Amino acid sequence: MIFLIRHGEDDNTRLGGWSDAGLSTLGIEQAKRASERIANGNFNIRHIFSSDLLRAKETSDIISKRLGIGVTFLKEFRETNNGDLAGISKERFQTDYPGLYYSSLEWEQRYPNGESPKQFYNRIRESWDVFKNKADSLDENVLLVTHAGVIDIILCIENGIPYTNRYVTHKIAYAEMVSV
């Protein structure tokens, strides 16, 4: 079985995407609580994979230490590449890029020096197909630590629901875990 978990809360004064923001104090606590739920639950996780963005790495490291399992980092499961907007303050965003929200992008419209919703979807769809085959070959339960946007796409794919960037189909809380 594959389990997906969203990273803990990060710096909410900056934009996410491909930012280098780490976990907030609350995010660290969320990751610790998640690691306890996983360790004390009947999940039998034997492999941990994670996005290589800092907030996911920090979350996976906390879980890894609690479970005593190493982590394999996969850049393919990063959040959407928001290019020039990655990590900028929300104040600067409102001044320099007013209204340039992910949900406002046309399907093939790219963030400045970033990717479009179509490119993001295709990257995750292709990576997910490869990952599922690898996970199946392991024949053991795996955990993928990643981002809300990535999980939304994966759950749309797995549930046969058309994906759109206009709204979030599957709302995933910080450090929430789901299975596929």
What's the sign of the alpha-carbon dihedral 99, 103, 109, 111? positive
CATH code, 92:
3.40.50.1240
pLDDT of residue 155: 98
pLDDT of residue 40: 96
pLDDT of residue 159: 98
Number of separate domains in the chain: 1
pLDDT of residue 12: 87
pLDDT of residue 77: 98
What's the sign of the alpha-carbon dihedral 83, 132, 37, 149? positive
pLDDT of residue 142: 98
Which domain, by its residues, includes 51? 2-179
Residues 6+ apart with CB under 8 A from 162: 156
pLDDT of residue 64: 98
Point out the residues of the chain with pLDDT beneath 50: none
pLDDT of residue 61: 98
pLDDT of residue 84: 97
